[in-house]
Amino acid sequence: MLKRLCGFFAIVGLVTATPLADTAQAAAWDIESDNFQIRTFAGGPSAAQLRQQCESLRTGLQQVWLTAADQTEWSPRCQVVVHATKSSYQTAVGRGAAQTSGSSTVRVVAGEIVGRRIDLLCDARKVASALPHELTHVVLADRFDAARPPLWLDEGIATMADTTEKRTLHHRDCHDALRSGDALRVAQLLRLEQFTSAKQVPAFYGQSLLLVHFLAEQGEPAQLIDFAEAALERGYDRALRDIYQIEGIDDLERRWRKYAWSKGPRTPQSLVSVIAR
Ligand SMILES: [Zn+2]
Summarised one tens digit per residue, pLDDT across range 247-267 is 999 999 999 999 999 886 666
Does 277 score more than 50 pLDDT?
no
For ligand 1, the distance from its centroid to the CA atom of residue 113, given in whole angstroms, is: 19
For ligand 1, the distance from its centroid to the CA atom of residue 209, given in whole angstroms, is: 11
Confidence of residue 3 (pLDDT cuts 50, 70, 90): low
pLDDT at 148: 79
For ligand 1, the distance from its centroid to the CA atom of residue 194, given in whole angstroms, is: 13
Burial class of residue 217 (count of CB atoms within 10 Å of its CB; 0-12, 13-18, 19+)? exposed
Does 1 score more than 70 pLDDT?
no
What single letter denotes the amino acid at residue 204? F
Does 9 score more than 50 pLDDT?
no
Residues near ligand 1 ion, CB 5 Å cutoff: 4, 6, 155, 158
Confidence of residue 119 (pLDDT cuts 50, 70, 90): very high
pLDDT digits (tens, 9 = 90+) for 204-215: 999 999 999 999
| Percent over 90 (pLDDT), the chain | 66
**Angstrom distance (rounded) from CA 93 to CA 88:** 9
How many angstroms from the chain centroid is the CA of residue 56?
A: 17
For ligand 1, the distance from its centroid to the CA atom of residue 4, given in whole angstroms, is: 6
Cα 91 to Cα 2, 43, 94, distances in angstroms: 19, 20, 6
Torsion of CA 155, 188, 94, 58, to 10 degrees: 20
Average pLDDT value for the chain: 86
pLDDT at 239: 97
Write out the DSSP string of 64-79.
HHS-GGG----SSPEE
| Percent over 70 (pLDDT), the chain | 84
Task: Say if CB 66 and CB 142 are below 8 A apart.
Answer: yes
- 166 CB contacts (<8 Å, ≥6 apart)? 129, 159
Does 80 score more than 90 pLDDT?
yes
Three-state DSSP class for 27? coil
pLDDT digits (tens, 9 = 90+) for 124-178: 888 899 999 999 999 999 988 667 789 999 999 999 999 888 999 999 999 999 9
